[in-house]
Amino acid sequence: MLHLSNLKHTDSGNFFLMAGPCVVESRDLVFEVAERLKTITDRLAIPWILKASYRKANRTRLDSFTGIGDETALEILREAGQYFEVPVVTDIHEASEAALAAPYVDVLQIPAFLCRQTELLLAAGATGKVVNVKKGQFVSGASMRFAVDKIRQTSEATVILTERGNSFGYSDLVVDFRNIVDMKEIGVPVVMDCTHSLQRPNQTSGVTGGQPDLIGTIAKAAIAVGADGLFIETHPRPGEALSDGANMLHLDRLEGLLLQLIRIRGAISHEVAH
């Protein structure tokens, strides 16, 4: 079973990274992104978990892309994880999906809208996999201790909490960085979702918008306040992406951003040490 302590490069002192395309569009895309991420994270000594949804269940419009088929997508994720020798995370939406996805991946992710769904949390915990719970857009960081408690009723599974902003009106999100501090006090690793926190949901077109130019701003602030990891969806051609293209970071921009973040992390660590 995966533990964060088993991730490669944990002795580097760097944050860890959950990154990949929003959804499994094809095997070629997953392998294209994973190959680049593998090269970058190995060079920078950043522990990395490959991320992609095997299916998108929360879509505004009925005609939105949802996936290429559950087992097909999950098999691609397992193949990529084995080929690149990295752990894999994907999200689940119903309790029955926990047992379906668990044999293929190392981390089960609970979407923010579902962070209070008791049956889903219990099912994820019962698999023994690492569980990453995204904080709901409608709850505080401190209240996420109850999600952690639910999961730990079923197993000693490692739990990660991820900040992804709070609803601000009908069509925007804001990030309150106090939530990172509050969730760290629960005693679990805390991640900043640097892409979904910049969504602009509920657009009149039925397609969620975003502000990808601010991904670096959110990431830098998160590292500055002590986030243990970063969640960044990335794509080599965001304009052609079948899901969340408006939010994803262009793959060509990732390495430069990570270099900046490593310097920030190093400066903070130096200050703490002295």
CA–CA distance from 181 to each of 156, 166, 178, 188, 249 (Å)?
A: 23, 15, 5, 11, 25
| Six-digit token string for 208 | 């969620």
**Considering its fold, how many domains does the chain have in total?**
1
CA distance 51 to 251: 14
Q: Could you count the other beta carbons within 10 Å of the beta carbon of residue 130? A: 23
Backbone φ, ψ for residue 119 (5° rounding)? -60, -40
Report the candidate in 34, 59, 152, 187 with the shortest Cα–Cα distance to residue 111: 59
Report yes or no on 39 lying in a domain: yes
Q: What is the pLDDT of residue 12?
A: 75
Q: Is the pTM of this model over 0.75?
A: yes
Structural domain contains residue 27: yes
Find the CATH number of the domain harbouring 40.
Answer: 3.20.20.70
Task: Note the pLDDT tens digit of each residue in 97-144.
Answer: 999 999 999 999 999 999 999 999 999 999 999 999 999 999 999 999
Say how many C-beta atoms besides its own lie within 10 A of residue 100's C-beta. Answer: 14
For the record, the structure tokens of 131 come out as: 């569980």
Q: Are 48 and 79 in contact (CB under 8 A)?
A: no
**Tokens 């190093």 — which residue?**
266
Does residue 268 lie in a domain region? no
| Domain-located, residue 272 | no
Distances from the Cα of 84 to the Cα of 38, 41, 212, 229, 236, angstroms: 7, 12, 27, 20, 18
**Interval 75-98: pLDDT, tens:** 999 999 999 999 999 999 999 999
User: What Cα–Cα distance (Å) separates residue 70 from each residue in 3, 86, 87, 199?
Assistant: 26, 21, 19, 25
105 closest CA partner among 151, 144, 55: 55
Residue 226, in any domain of the structure: yes
Query: Does pLDDT of 64 surpass 70?
Result: no
pLDDT at 222: 97
**Residue 261 forms part of a structural domain:** no
User: What are the tens digits of pLDDT across the range 141-187?
Assistant: 999 999 999 999 988 889 999 999 998 887 788 999 999 999 999 99
Residue 263 lies in a domain: no
264 within a domain of the structure (yes/no) = no
Domain hosting 230: range is: 4-256
CA angle, residues 124, 115, 30, in degrees to nearest 5: 65
Whole-number pLDDT of residue 204: 42
